[in-house]
Amino acid sequence: MRSVMKITGLGRSTIYRLIASKQFPCPVRLTSHAVAWRSTDIEAWSETRPVAAH
């Protein structure tokens, strides 16, 4: 989760809210207490996000 938060710039609750609304890749269950995200899924999601204008 920390890596995903760092890569996306999103907080934990925002990530889970986006997952619930089908706007973020679902995690893959590793064990009964651990999940992870595929880097390819995060990269693909990131490419669909609008670029912020400064």
Domain count, the chain: 1
Q: Tell me if 53 is assigned to some domain.
A: no
Report the C-alpha gap between 36 and 4 in whole angstroms.
9
pLDDT digits (tens, 9 = 90+) for 23-35: 999 999 999 999 9
pLDDT digits (tens, 9 = 90+) for 4-28: 999 999 999 999 999 999 999 999 9
Report the C-alpha gap between 54 and 42 in whole angstroms.
24
Q: Tell me if 44 is assigned to some domain.
A: yes
Question: Residue 29 sits in which domain range?
Answer: 2-48
The pTM assigned to this predicted structure is: 0.82
Report how far Cα 29 is from the mean position of its chain's Cα atoms.
14
> In degrees, to the nearest 5, what angle opens at C-alpha 34 toward C-alphas 13 and 39?
75
Q: Where are the alpha helices (DSSP H) in 1-54?
A: 2-8, 12-20, 39-48
